[in-house]
Structure 1
């Protein structure tokens, strides 16, 4: 028997239950991991409320964690019991002491990265990696726009872009967040509550605008973002915190300068075990070198997952939050 957080119906934090359950044995191509730290992300609140329905109920939550391999199923050759590992895109179930998931979703963790660091940075860090290294291979000297620059992914993007030598213009919603983004390496910041983002980007780039704009906000910033993309540039829409972009006339891309647009996801980039491990190695290397600093995460016991979600939903947290079994 082991402990996990589960819910039998959709609703508020009160539906979460800290319960006993019987972990399954790993099947072919699977591993069972004893979690030492578990990532907490806003998407899990959407799953709990039913906005993103779970495959079946009762269900556990979470897709991100770090720990040690306990058991491997048949056909698994790149992992063995005792290996330190981490994961970010596994099936639901990381809010647990033990989690079974496909071995191809698991990466080896170097000794230089703690379980707590891995659980707090895997999802956000891998997202930053594919955005800046693959969706658009950011180069030194390039000026780009990144919305929500003080957020989870944005705070890593500020550091990563600075390490590359690129000029990241970050949008933020307060003076405090502006100060944070600048401290993390943003070249310039725009407080969208006080400034016109497109006008400021035009001024900062001498009218050239940006070869790429990274937008996790969605509906509220879609047209503003397009106005900041240089001719034949790329609009990267990778999130929808303000709502999904819909009803778009593709002709607007022609009107704005023959623009490109993409809606990437982590799963599409980390689609094989080798690619996932290579992305993770790049991320871990940035952390080990000191170019990417991972802030100490706020910790809650696993049994207090409901309290942790309440704090996250109420915007009472800064940086990452993790659960400890």
Structure 2
């Protein structure tokens, strides 16, 4: 995503912020809304939804050149629900709040940001972890481990992260540790290793969350390969908590259409095994199939459409979107058409 860069001199905003003439301020965001119809079980609802192609957001990044290859940075970013103008219900800057220091040896980041346990599958989601086909829905609920309430299935508060420099011949790694600070399902530790060069990008990750009654563990392996005429996506992620396990596999494609279009399609399978609270969950599986099209009107503005359907079995009740409420063992399907602008 390319953002609007505002380089501001010593006078004005940078003076007020106490930054130097070598500082850069980047104001960025996404304005994305679409018409959506969702059917869960026998109930349907039509709505105007936010973030069907990319999550609507507003953010500010700052960077200062300290000399000698060293840079300091800050990043604040929050959700904007474009359909009604509200922000996240629990915190204003819910997406990222960090300060960082980078140089020849890599980057250290302090604050709230995405974990390597999330990016290790999220960066390989055929639908960009947004809209009806977002595979995050299969990871955000984890057998009562508590990560649903804290949001640690994706982002960590009170974290210290490290990213290797971009000078390792395509190899990269990042690691994160987050303090629990006395809150259940808030402590995190994990790392990701990968290789990205030319058409190939592949990585694996392992993370542990100190959940409500034990460790929630996530192991993943994912990759994508650009053949030119088609881009292939694949991921395998295992979430384990106590005696319960969910294995999530995804296979997907991007197919260019002309100079401005892209067809997106994938299938995602969530297989449960073991038991929760003494009850077997082995029959609680789900399969999602999705098909979409994105048409770029410019480098920043796109029209899109997506159809997704989930087949739930047993007590599984995943939904492409809510409302209406998901129904255990019942199908969920939805269709949306929208407009997305990045700035």
Q: TM-score range by the shorter chain?
A: under 0.3
Under a length normalisation based on structure 2, what TM-score does the superposition of the two structures give?
0.26
Structure-1-length-normalised TM-score: 0.27
Could you say which structure has the higher strand fraction?
2
